[in-house]
Chains A and B, each alone.
Chain A
Amino acid sequence: MNKSQSRRMWVIIMGLLLGVFLILLRLITFQIVKGPEWAARSRDESIVIAQPARGTIYDRNGAMLAANSSDYQISVSPNMVIDATGLSLELMPILQKPQSEIMAALLSDRPHEVVAGRVSADIADLVRDLQKEYSGLQIDPLARRFYPQRDLLCHTLGYVDFAGNGGAGLEGYYQEELAGEAASATFFLSPLREQPSIAAREGDDLVLTVDRSVQQMVENELTAALLEHRAESGTIIVMDPRTGAILAMASAPCYDPNEFYDADESLLLNPAVSSQFEPGSVMKLITMASALDSGTVTPDSTYYDAGVLEVGGHRTVNWDRSAPGTTDMTTLLARSLNVGAATLSTSMGAERFNDYFRQFGFGSPTGIDLMSEAAGAMPLPGDESWTESLLAAYSYGQAIATTPLQMITALSALANEGEIMQPYLVQEIHSENGDFAHTPIVMSKPISAEAARDTTNMAVTAVAREVSQAQIQGYTIAGKTGTAQISENGVYLENDVIATFAGWLPADAPEVIIYVKLDRPQINPWGSLTAAPTFAHLAEELVVLLDIPPDNIRLRADILAAREN
Chain B
Amino acid sequence: MTTDTYRQLLGLAAGVMIVAAVLALWRRSLSAIVRILAAQGLALAAIAVLVGAYHHEVSDIAVGGMFVVLKVVVIPAVLLRVVRDTNNQRQSEPLVNVSTTIVGAAILTVVAFAATRGLVGLHPSPEADALPAGFAVVLIAFFGLVVRRNALVQVVGFLMLENGIAAVAVLAGAGISLTVEMAVALDLLLAVLVLQILSARMQTKFGGLELDHLSELTD
Q: Do A and B originate from a single complex?
A: no
Residues on B facing A (Cβ under 8 Å): none
